[in-house]
Chain A
């Protein structure tokens, strides 16, 4: 079945450092890919998404490119801020999955001032 694997955390960075959080997936169909972010004490919210190969999703300085050949959707940001401290979830939604979105385990990011 479909699955999402993302790098384990926590990831600890200093402010203005470069961020990469790896995400790879397996899917029977041609999925849409997402990054959701969860700030402390809140629910998940969509950060960015991509619906077809080579699409780049971007928002708030974060980017991720849909790589079908490597089945990956890695999240990057050039210069992190303390306010980016949160848990980041990679996810996919597939036609074969119907109404189900598959989430990765989440990666916690700490950014130090």
Chain B
């Protein structure tokens, strides 16, 4: 049981290049999330997927796209990387809240450290 896995662990891009960050979970969770972590700002939600086939914007979606490929996998794409996207990116998953409910616990991957020059 690997939990949440992310690839790559580290990536350097030049401004304008594109890349896709991969995330997979083996806990049969319905909900998946992408966050970015910047110094002094905690975690900010980029996009989330409440269930297979659905995606929604979070707090900071500009410059990113996502794909919920199947129940296990949720990818994050940078179409044209900018230095402002230098950050550490975390994928997470959770059980879906019951109708009208709230998330109880999220499970995080180890992160992808991205540097955009």
Contacts and interface: CB of A to CB of B under 8 A. Distances in A.
Interface of A: 4, 31-32, 34, 36, 41-46, 49, 51, 89, 93-95, 97-101, 103-106
Interface residues of B, number: 28
Contacts of A106: 42
Contacts of A42: 110-111
Given A43-B4, A99-B103, A105 B31 contact: no
Given A43-B109, A95-B102, A101-B45, 11 more contacts: A32-B103, A34-B105, A41-B110, A49-B105, A98-B102, A99-B48, A99-B97, A101-B106, A103-B42, A103-B43, A105-B41
Contacts of A46: 105-107
Q: Which of B42, B90, B97, B109 has the most CB of A within 10 A?
A: B42
Interface string B98-117: 00111111111111000000
A101 B95 CA distance: 13
Contact of A44 (B31, B50, B90, B96): B90
Contacts of A44: 43, 90, 92, 106, 108
Q: Which of A4, A97, A99, A105 has the most CB of B within 10 A?
A: A99
